[in-house]
Amino acid sequence: GAAPQRDIAAYTSAIRACERAGRWDVALDLLEAMKAERLRPSKVAYTAAISVCAAAQQWERSLLLLQEMEAVGGPGPDEVACSACISCCGRAGRWPWALQLLEEMERKKLESNVIAFNAAISGCEVCSQWQRGLALLRDMIEASVKPDIVSYSAALSGCEKGKQWEKALSLLVEMREQGLPLETIAFSAAISACEGARRWDFAIWLLEEMVLDSAAPNSVTYTSAIGSCARAAQWTWAILLLDEMSWRQLEVGAVALSSAIAACEATAPSATAAPQLLAKLSADGLMASKCWAAAATDALP
C-alpha cells in the first residue's frame, strides 16, 4: 500500500544522505532496519549504499551488497553500482574481483565506462599484473571506450614494475598518436622501466623527449635516469645528470647521489670519475654529508 512505499522512500532518502555524508556504517544500519521491517530496499538505496561503502574502501561490504542486490530480485545492479565496486576493488589491489566484475558487466550487456576500466587497470598495476593491465587496455578499445591519461598512466606504471621498457615506450608512442598529452608521470614510469631493464640509453633519450614535449622532469625522473646510468657504469652521464638536476634547482637526494657514486665505483680504474664527483659534491655544497664524500673518496683509483 501507500504506507510501505512512503517508508521505502523515506529510508532511501536517508541512505542517500548517508552516501553524501560518507557514513557507510549508518547506511548499512538503515538497510538492515528496512529488512527487519520487511521492506525491500530499492535499487537506488542499494546503489547509494554500495557507492558509500566503495568510497570508504569497504570493498568486501560493497561486493556483499552487490550480491545481495542480485539475490533479492527486481532490477539488478546497474553500471553505477558495478563501477563503484570495480573502483573499490581496484584501489584495494583486488584485481581478480575487478576483472570478474568487468566480465559480469559484459555478460549482462551493461556498458563498461572509462572509470570501471581504469580502476581495473590500476588494480592490476598495484599487484604487478602488467600483462592483464595491457590486456584490459586493449579490451577498452575493443569495447569502444576511449582510454584516457589515467588508463595509460596505470598501464605504464604496471610496465614500470614489470621492467617492461619496450612496452612502456610503445604506450608512450600510442598516447602521442591518440593526441593525449605526455605528462611527467608517464615519462617517469617509462624511464623507471628503462632503469630496471638497464637501458640507460633509452632513459637518457626519454629525458630529452620530455624537454621537447614541455613535460617538466622532476627529482624522481632524474633519480631513475641516474640509476640506469649507474647500472651500466656510465659515470659521465651520471654526473651530467646531477649537474642538470642542480641547474633545474631540483633536490639532489640520497638515492641520486649514491647511484652516481656507484657509477664511479663500477668504472674501470680511472683518475677522472671519482674526482669529478668529489668536485661536484663540493661545488653543490653537498660535502657537509661526510658519508657521501667518504664514499666518493673510496671510489678513487
Q: Within a 13 Å sphere around the CA of 104, how many CA atoms are in the beta-carbon half? A: 20
pLDDT of residue 53: 96
Distance CA 83, CA 155 (A): 19
- Specify the pLDDT at position 275: 63
Q: What pLDDT, on the 0 to 100 scale, is given for residue 79? A: 87
pTM above 0.85, yes or no: no
Torsion of CA 287, 228, 130, 182, to 10 degrees: 80
Question: In the chain, how many H helices and how many E strands?
Answer: 17, 0
Spatial CA neighbour of 104 closest among 127, 76, 138: 76
**What is the rounded CA–CA span in Å between residue 292 and residue 34?**
66
Grid cell at residue 63: 561486493
Nearest Cα to Cα of residue 34 among 72, 64, 8, 3: 8
**For residues 137 and 121, is the Cβ–Cβ distance under 8 A?**
yes
pLDDT of res. 194:
92
Task: State how far the Cα of 287 lies from the Cα of 181, in Å rounded to an integer.
Answer: 40
Task: For residue 109, report the phi and psi dihedrals to the nearest 5 degrees.
Answer: 60, 30
Show pLDDT as tens, one digit a residue, over the chain (301 residues): 566 778 899 999 999 999 999 999 999 999 999 999 999 898 999 999 999 999 999 999 999 999 999 888 767 888 889 989 998 998 888 889 989 998 888 888 888 888 889 988 988 888 888 999 999 999 999 988 999 999 999 999 999 999 999 999 999 999 999 999 888 889 999 999 998 888 999 999 999 998 888 888 899 999 999 999 988 888 889 888 988 888 888 888 878 888 888 777 776 545 455 666 666 565 655 543 444 444 444 444 4
d(CA 164, CA 175): 17
Domain parsing of the chain, residue ranges: 1-77
